[in-house]
Amino acid sequence: MGLARIAALVSAAGCDGHTGLFVWGTGTYPVESLPLRLWLFGEDLVIVDALPPHENLIGARIDTIEGRPIADVRAALDSVIPRDNDQTVRLLTPRYLLIPQVLRGLGLRNDSSVRFRYTLGAMSAEVDLASIPMADYNGWAGPYGLHLPPAPGHPDVAWLSRVDDALWWEVLPDGETLYIQSNRIETPGSDLTDLRKALAAPEVARVVLDIRHNFGGEVRPLDTMVEVFTDPAVDQPGKLFVVTGRNTFSAASMLAARLEAETEAVFLGEPMGGCPTFYGDPEELSLPNSGLTVLISATLEVGVDPNDVRQTIPLDAMAEITQEEWAAGEDPALDLLRVATP
């Protein structure tokens, strides 16, 4: 954690969230994870998924870890987390505090399990959780484990259930809204040809581009992606909407910057986790004694303007999901637009 704190100093002023010590997938230092997935709804840290036999904890708010209030734990973590902006920290904090070695390094635990006090409905209780190998955790939650999963009982809610698909779309039940979800920026193939055809359909009166789960990818395809949405048939006042979130990062935040500058798009959702212009394209620095790997940004990645020092793109409307909306399988962004969803 001392090394993590040093690495995080580089990005303390923002817009360099690619530089840091990310201890859940790089290097050979032996780290583990607790068998939970967590999400910050407002200031509440909530268990949104759990491996057996802990499924009964889903929906619980975590109040303390090893007797320390969550606010204190978050404050202790703040100095070790890389960032583009505050949203990057909100995204990464739950992931860091699931790692027992991180908690030990911050002086928050000493033994082989971690004690949580939680509130679920009217009940408050404590539970001791043992960790699992990081490889097992990543196999379950993904190599980053940073996406919000669907709530129990709503496995097919559209905006949360297909985050592993790079690009998909569908016409919503109103018959006139084309909903497009882009989850990675990658070299386009025939998909974009098919998407152009869908956008050109005469019944399409509204286009919603959802990049809430898009953590980036390649920079080269950005021009082609932007061209799809600067088409005069799409780029019309009141027709194009872009939905961002805390996972909108790296090349996806560059896409957002381009669309803000080059289209009439309305932006909604929650603030994105990436800067419009940022340092990226990281290189690895392996530390031989510890086995840790530090990532160090090598390039200034420019969305539109190299002098753009903004840490996010301002929203025209806020649509940050609440725990109640998540539990009900709702989509706050489309609800804001009053669009019926499957």
Indicate whether 238 and 107 sit together in one domain: no
- Residue 53 inside a domain? The answer is yes
Q: Is the pLDDT of residue 308 over 80?
A: yes
Indicate whether 177 and 321 sit together in one domain: yes
**Segment (H or E) for 333:** helix 332-336
Cβ count near 143 (within 10 Å): 12
- Distance, in Å, from the CA atom of 71 to the CA atom of 52, rounded to the nearest integer, reads 27
CATH assignment at residue 94:
2.30.42.10
Q: Is the pLDDT of residue 250 over 90?
A: yes
The domain of 23 spans 2-141
Last residue of a domain, one of 109, 141, 173: 141
pLDDT confidence tier of residue 30, bands split at 50, 70 and 90: confident
- Residue 198 inside a domain? The answer is yes
- Residue 292 inside a domain? The answer is no
Indicate whether 30 and 109 sit together in one domain: yes
Query: What digits encode the pLDDT tens for the residues 46-80?
Result: 999 999 999 999 999 999 999 999 999 999 999 99
- DSSP 3-state of 196: helix
- Residue 147 inside a domain? The answer is no
Predicted local distance difference test score (pLDDT) of residue 144: 82
DSSP string, 103-134: HHHTTS--SSEEEEEEEETTEEEEEEEE-EEH
**In angstroms, how far apart are the furthest CA atoms of the chain?**
63
- Distance, in Å, from the CA atom of 195 to the CA atom of 110, rounded to the nearest integer, reads 53
Indicate whether 98 and 199 sit together in one domain: no
Given a contact cutoff of 8 angstroms between Cβ atoms, the answer to whether 25 and 145 are in contact is: no
Cα first-last separation, the chain? 45
Indicate whether 126 and 165 sit together in one domain: no
Of 147, 219, 142, 228, the closest CA to residue 185 belongs to 219
- Residue 299 inside a domain? The answer is no
Average pLDDT of the chain? 94
Cβ count near 303 (within 10 Å): 24
The most confident of 24-38, 130-144, 196-210, by mean pLDDT? 196-210
Indicate whether 315 and 177 sit together in one domain: yes
Indicate whether 122 and 212 sit together in one domain: no
CATH assignment at residue 253:
3.90.226.10
Query: What digits encode the pLDDT tens for the residues 157-180?
Result: 999 999 999 999 999 999 999 999
- Residue 14 inside a domain? The answer is yes
Indicate whether 169 and 251 sit together in one domain: yes
Predicted local distance difference test score (pLDDT) of residue 72: 95
Indicate whether 123 and 190 sit together in one domain: no
DSSP string, 150-194: PPTT-TT-HHHH-TTSSEEEEE-TTSSEEEEEE--B----HHHHH
Domains contained in the chain, number: 2
Last residue of a domain, one of 112, 141, 170: 141
Task: Give me the count of residues in the chain.
Answer: 342
- Residue 29 inside a domain? The answer is yes
Indicate whether 87 and 162 sit together in one domain: no
Indicate whether 32 and 137 sit together in one domain: yes
Indicate whether 239 and 172 sit together in one domain: yes
